[in-house]
Structure 1
Amino acid sequence: MGNCGNFFNLIIIFSVALITYNIIISANAPLKQDFPGPSNPSSNRKITIDPIIKMPTDLPKPQKKRLFHTAVTSSDSVYNTWQCRIMYYWFKKFQNQPGSEMGGFTRILHSGSSDNFMDEIPTFVAQPLPSGQDQGYIVLNRPWAFVQWLEQADIKEDYILMAEPDHIIVKPMPNLAVDEIGAAFPFFYIEPKKYETVLRKFFPEDKGPITSIDPIGNSPVIVGKESLKKIAPTWMNVSLAMKKDPEADKAFGWVLEMYGYAIASALDGVGYTLYKDFMIQPPWDTEVGNKFIIHYTYGCDYDMKGKLTYGKIGEWRFDKRSYDNSYPPRNLPLPPPGVPDSVDFRWQQYENPHCLPPLRLELQQELNIQKIH
């Protein structure tokens, strides 16, 4: 009986010693977190912690909007003016809708003097190039106008969307640029590799491979304001130099200034993410889908069955060049059944603010649109 008592005493002493040892070790050891989430970096599971048990500390916070400023260059011609008014009309429609990061808007008017639409459209008046400098290629005024605007204007936003008068915004647009990487639409006809020999005059081999030149123009592009301040003077000088070079002028024709911007970006080390969904160009692009801009640069010709007759004037047609000296008239005929979504949608979006139909009178008053006689 005495031996049994001694045995139980030994068991108790051993147990107490073991518990004491564990307490001492645990007090000096780091605590292990077995919950998933931010306190357990090794966990790849989603945060599923019951907040009553443990409240995570790194829940996503609402992201601050990264606003971009929309800028459109324009002459004071009737042709550019009616397009700018339509462009601004649809900009205003989507500017403050959910999902939009569209900030301010500026029409950069490179005619050198104000016009009758200064109160309707926010406008910066830039000086044109000296007489003869554009050599009849008026688009060369675009980079020079941007240089002036970036130097003189008080631009609140950190990003710039460069757009054109014949762009129609069809949905709220987010900022597609990411930090120092801009966003641009890839054009199939901008082919740096094909024209490497000519381009090397302006982008020497020591600047990098020819593939450093992105297949883009200056529009549509969303780029950081500070990056554009670097690019704009280079863009202007390269474009002027290319226009003076007979070989480059012949090779690039009406897209010369687009190549100028692509080269300038590469020279200044600004890269772009290429967004095919940035824009569509009817009639070749047939679906609007999730695109942000409709570019109506090409004429649209259809028969009354909705079949494209490109190269031949259709029974129904819309071509912006038909209205280079006058406003498009009220009540242009609707496209025939069967035309692609992009053409039909473009028609629905196309409403001349000079002669808005009754359903748009409220927006006409809001924009203080003045009728031209």
Structure 2
Amino acid sequence: MGCGHLFYSTLVTFSVALITYNIIISANAPLKQDFPNPSSSSISVDPVIEMPLERSRRHGAAANKRLFHTAMTASDSVYNTWQCRVMYYWFKKFQNGPNSEMGGFTRILHSGKPDKYMDEIPTFIAQPLPAGMDQGYIVLNRPWAFVQWLEKADIKEEYILMAEPDHIIVKPIPNLSKDGLGAAFPFFYIEPKKYESVLRKYFPKDMGPITNIDPIGNSPVVVGRDSLKKIAPVWMNVSLAMKKDPETDKAFGWVLEMYAYAVASALNGVGNILYKDFMIQGHLTYGKIGEWRFDKRSYDSVPPPRNLPLPPPGVPESVVTLVKMVNEATANIPNWGS
């Protein structure tokens, strides 16, 4: 892709909270304002998106924006809800920022009933899967929720960003999809070639090489609305089929639904531009610095308090940024903790 001069960090995720404190980037690199070119020979894990030069020029010329609608699925648990509130706070902060192509926002609540945050966060109520169908894997409600939303909601934007409650937006986000391709983050643990024998149950050889399946999940992904309308029902059916198959279920475990989206996208002929710097991905770390810790799963039944203590010296700047952003959000969201 072209070498532009505008760079965008986009999403910070809370890492899986089996750790003393969360190291958000693997190389302990600081969160900076200026970043190396992602296409250069040195690989960076900083949270950056480079805008292609052609698009930078068009934005400078005040060209028409290609707005995308941000959609995230969520349950009505305390744990999901406080993350949704923080995520939406930062969405609003950056929605109208420079070069943003962020349009509307929807929380797709798959509890089947309204909650008390309907007036705070734009929300679509989706029905959960019938009892027992998720086999204890609640994430299977995600594709089913998207199917319902895409069928029933009046979505003005022609593109959709699929996000999750534990994402935090750190800069205005441009629309990185182009030429019918989605824009996605590549996950190192999604390995289609390694699991070809399993994936061929769902992606037969006549559909092409296994490398047609991108190493992605459904989030973060920017994709055309019409493309997602085709992908979503297949994503749902493949997810259910994978969960019912013992070999597949054992092979993919908690990332099964991510593989299902990647397969569904490939089955529909929708490829993706892979941006390694779309998101700072969490990594498990078992270290400890004094008594300080931040573990999102410590707050599964009650939201985190306002004014969390900042990390001590030596913690990566990305972690400091994360805690500061949580603190700003909780300080400004009305009735936090109520």
SS at match of 2:107: strand
Q: Corresponding residue for 2:298?
A: 322
Q: Corresponding residue for 1:144?
A: 144
Question: C-alpha separation between the residues in 1 aligned to 2:175 and 2:156?
Answer: 15
Scaled by the length of structure 2, what TM-score is found? 0.80
Q: Corresponding residue for 1:288?
A: none
Deviation by residue 1:15-69 (Cα, 9 ceiling, x = unmatched): xxxxxxxxxxxxxxxxxxxxxxxxxxxxxxxxxxxxxxxxxxxxx9532100000
Deviation by residue 1:154-212 (Cα, 9 ceiling, x = unmatched): 00100000000000000011001013111000000000000011111111111111000
Q: Corresponding residue for 1:54?
A: none
Q: Corresponding residue for 2:288?
A: 302
Cα 1:333/1:347, change in 2 over 3 Å: same
SS at match of 2:277: helix
Contact 2:183/2:221 (8 A) holds in 1: yes
SS at match of 2:327: coil
Question: C-alpha separation between the residues in 1 aligned to 2:245 and 2:82?
Answer: 34
Deviation by residue 1:109-152 (Cα, 9 ceiling, x = unmatched): 00000000000000000000011100000000000000000000
Give the counterpart letter for 1:303 in structure 2. Answer: I
Question: C-alpha separation between the residues in 2 aligned to 1:128 and 1:148?
Answer: 10
Question: C-alpha separation between the residues in 2 aligned to 1:126 and 1:256?
Answer: 21
Cα 1:263/1:85, change in 2 over 3 Å: same
Pick one of 315, 318, 324 that aligns with 1:348: 324
SS at match of 1:350: helix
Q: Corresponding residue for 1:162?
A: 162
Unaligned 5+ runs, structure 2: 1-59
Q: Corresponding residue for 1:36?
A: none
Query: Which range moved further: 142-151 or 325-334?
Result: 325-334
Question: C-alpha separation between the residues in 2 aligned to 1:222 and 1:331?
Answer: 33
Question: C-alpha separation between the residues in 2 aligned to 1:181 and 1:301?
Answer: 40
Question: C-alpha separation between the residues in 2 aligned to 1:348 and 1:370?
Answer: 19
Q: Corresponding residue for 1:56?
A: none
Q: Corresponding residue for 1:180?
A: 180
SS at match of 1:124: strand
Q: Corresponding residue for 2:266?
A: 266
Deviation by residue 1:204-241 (Cα, 9 ceiling, x = unmatched): 11111100000000000000000000000000000000
Residue 127 in structure 1 maps to residue 127 in structure 2:
yes
Cα 1:91/1:154, change in 2 over 3 Å: same
Contact 2:185/2:219 (8 A) holds in 1: yes
Scaled by the length of structure 1, what TM-score is found? 0.72
Pick one of 310, 317, 322 that aligns with 1:334: 310
Q: CA deviation at 1:372?
A: 4.6
Deviation by residue 1:263-322 (Cα, 9 ceiling, x = unmatched): 00000000000001100024x4xxxxxxxxxxxxx5785314xxxxxxxxxx21111111
Contact 2:308/2:323 (8 A) holds in 1: no
Question: C-alpha separation between the residues in 2 aligned to 1:333 and 1:258?
Answer: 34
Q: What is the RMSD computed on CA atoms of the aligned residues?
A: 1.5
Contact 1:192/1:213 (8 A) holds in 2: yes
Question: C-alpha separation between the residues in 1 aligned to 2:300 and 2:272?
Answer: 33
Structure with greater contact order relative to length (CA < 8 Å, sep ≥ 6): 2
Q: Corresponding residue for 1:243?
A: 243
Number of aligned residues: 279
SS at match of 1:276: coil
Give the counterpart letter for 2:326 in structure 1. Answer: Y
Contact 2:307/2:327 (8 A) holds in 1: no
Question: C-alpha separation between the residues in 2 aligned to 1:154 and 1:300?
Answer: 45
Give the counterpart letter for 2:184 in structure 1. Answer: A
Give the counterpart letter for 2:193 in structure 1. Answer: K
Q: Corresponding residue for 1:94?
A: 94
Contact 1:299/1:320 (8 A) holds in 2: no
Q: CA deviation at 1:370?
A: 3.5
Unaligned 5+ runs, structure 1: 1-59, 285-297, 305-314
How is 1:173-212 mapped onto 2 (pairs within 5 angstroms)? Answer: 173-212=173-212
Q: CA deviation at 1:258?
A: 0.1
Deviation by residue 1:309-353 (Cα, 9 ceiling, x = unmatched): xxxxxx211111111111112232210012111111111111275
Give the counterpart letter for 1:344 in structure 2. Answer: V
Question: C-alpha separation between the residues in 1 aligned to 2:305 and 2:129?
Answer: 33
Question: C-alpha separation between the residues in 1 aligned to 2:328 and 2:250?
Answer: 36
Contact 2:67/2:158 (8 A) holds in 1: yes
Identity of matched residues, %: 75
Q: Which one has a larger percent helix, Structure 1 or Structure 2?
A: 1
